[in-house]
Amino acid sequence: MQKRKLGTGGLEVSAIGLGCMGISQSYGQPMETADAVRLIRSAFERGVTFFDTAEVYGPFTNEAVVGEALLPIRDQVVIATKFGIDIAGTAGHQGMDSRPQHIRDVVEASLKRLRTDHIDLLYQHRVDPVVPIEEVAGTVKELIQEGKVKHFGLSEAGVRTIRRAHAVQPVAALQSEYSLWWREPEEAILPVLEELGIGFVPFSPLGKGFLTGAINADTTFDSSDFRNTVPRFAAEARKANQALVDAIGAIAARKTVTPAQVAIAWLLAQKPWIVPIPGTTKLNRLEENIGSAAVALTPDDLADIENAVSTIAVQGERYSPQQAARIDR
């Protein structure tokens, strides 16, 4: 697989990474550990070198699975994990906790679960409204100086936060949602990332599965699937949003690829420093996603996609009000 660089600090990763959250939570029942380890190693065998996890996934179990899977090939991969969520419910910062000592405690625990002596990319999972971002960036800077962390990242951060953090410790990557059905980052985020030399890691590049074409208004989700709480996945919204999938599907059929591959290839075509991290629990979907890197979209293809989707207004908010309150603006 081709490689891409995130930021100007030399962090090189596969053009497509693997988001590991769904292995342990949010999209139905967690995978058995042995199956999850096989899936992660299968991704590596197919060229993926960038793996995304977080302490809150599980909580904690996802990092342990990723650590077990990648232990034999640790020096050949890039592991990203995250701090900043108040899992214990004691900080009282709208569910956040990025106090310096907490960051240090999380990093030590993550290192143990990941079975490694360093974290390649450490993200602040969500911006803490109480702790100044300069304190957060300064703490990560110290961890980098100590060799426990290699690169600093932010997630769902706004322009002002990005600039303030970057002034203290260069930000290698921002991870936020971006796809053909959530294009808000194009307005202000992508320009500032380009200006500052920061890479972009889109999560949910397939619209939480909707852009694959495998979900419609009649689809039912497991009771533990968080999409049950997402307004954009209400039955009426899914019915309305089918037009977007149909438009992508028509272009995919013309190119003899899948809608998912068009959606991921479109992201790759936007900027050379964009690295999507689709997640899956199925080997065939993993192979499909990885195959997106070989899909060449011509300028005419990109124009056709833009023309097809620009007239479609996606229905439904992407988060519940509680989840939306955690997003930095």
Q: Which two tokens stand for residue 292?
A: 């997106």
- Of 8, 46, 30, the closest CA to residue 289 belongs to 46
CA distance 157 to 174: 8
Q: Is 57 a catalytic residue?
A: yes
The active-site residue, picked from 27, 57, 123, 178, is 57
CA distance 113 to 94: 26
- Of 168, 199, 2, the closest CA to residue 100 belongs to 168
Q: Exposed, middle or buried: residue 50 (CB in 10 Å: 0-12, 13-18, 19+)?
A: buried
Which residues are designated catalytic?
A: 57
